[in-house]
Amino acid sequence: MADISLSAGIRSNLISLQNTASLLNQTQTRLGTGKKVNSPIDNPTNYFTAEALKNRAGDLTARLDGISKGVQTVKAADAGIKGLKSLIAQAKGIANDARALSTATTDTQAVADRAALATRFDTIRTQIDQMAADSGYDGVNLLGNDKLTVQFGEKIGSSTIDLQGFTATATGLGIAAAAGSFATNANVDAAIANLEKAEGTLRTESKKLSANLGVLTTRQEFTNSMVNNLTTGADNLTNADLNAEAANLLALNTQQSLGVNSLSLASQASQSVLRLLQ
C-alpha cells in the first residue's frame, strides 16, 4: 500500500490530539489511583524513596506487635503482684490472729484455734502459688522467672529491652508453710517477718515493672509516631492532588474537543484544495 500523505496542518493536529490523549490517560490514572507516581516510569526518585519509607514503616509496624505483647505481659505481672499483696495481707491477718491467742497447751480451744489458723495460712500460701502461675501472658510469665526480650528497631538487635521476671511463688518469696508451727509466738513472729520481707520484695519488683512499662509505652508511642511520619512522607512523594487533577481533566477534555474541531477544519481545507484541482 502506498504511503498516505497528510498535510502539515492535519499532521500537526494529529500530534496535538495524541499528546492530549496521553495526558488524559495519565490524569485519569491519577484520579483513579489517587497517586501521581504509580511506577518507576512516572518518577524514579520519588517512587523508590517512597518504597523505602513504606518498607521501613512496615518493619516498625511489625515491631508494634512485640511492644504491645511486652506491655500486656508487664500489666499481667503487675496485676498478679497486686493480687499477691492482697493475699499476703490476708496471711498477715491470720498470723496476727494466732499471735493474739494463748500459747498454753492446757488451753485446748486456743490450741485448736491456732491449728485452724495455720491451716488457713497454708491455704493462702497455696493461693499465692496459683496466682503467681496464672499471671502470665501469651506464654510468658514474669512472676515465674521468665524473660522476654522486646525488639524496638527495625533491624534485629538494633534496639531492645530485656524484661526479666522473678519467682513469685510462696517458696520464692520466702513464705514457709505454717502447718504445726503456729503453736508458739516465736514461730508466728517468724511467719510475720517472712510475710513482711515478701511484701518488700513485691514492692521492689513492682517498681521495676513500672519502670519497664514506662519505657515500653514511650517506645510504643514513638514507634506509632514514626510509622505515621514515614507513611505521610511516602504519600507526599507519590499522592496526587485530586483537585488539581480534576481541573486538568476538564481542561484536557476541552483541549481535545478543540483539537478535533481543528482537525476537522484542516481536513476541510484540504478538501477545498482538491475541489480547485478538479
CATH architecture group of domain 59-237 = Up-down Bundle (1.20)
Residue ranges in the chain modelled with pLDDT below 50: 1, 274, 276
* pLDDT given at position 102: 85
* pLDDT given at position 11: 66
Contacts for 266 with CB less than 8 Å, ≥ 6 apart: 7, 9, 10, 12, 13
* pLDDT given at position 163: 93
Domains of the chain by residue range: 8-34+240-277, 59-237
* pLDDT given at position 1: 45
* pLDDT given at position 244: 67
* pLDDT given at position 246: 73
Nearest partner of 129 among 176, 94, 171, judged by Cα: 171
* pLDDT given at position 160: 92
> Coil, helix or strand for 176?
coil
* pLDDT given at position 6: 56
> How far is 237 from 99, CA to CA, in rounded Å?
75
Q: What is the pTM of this model?
A: 0.74
* pLDDT given at position 234: 87
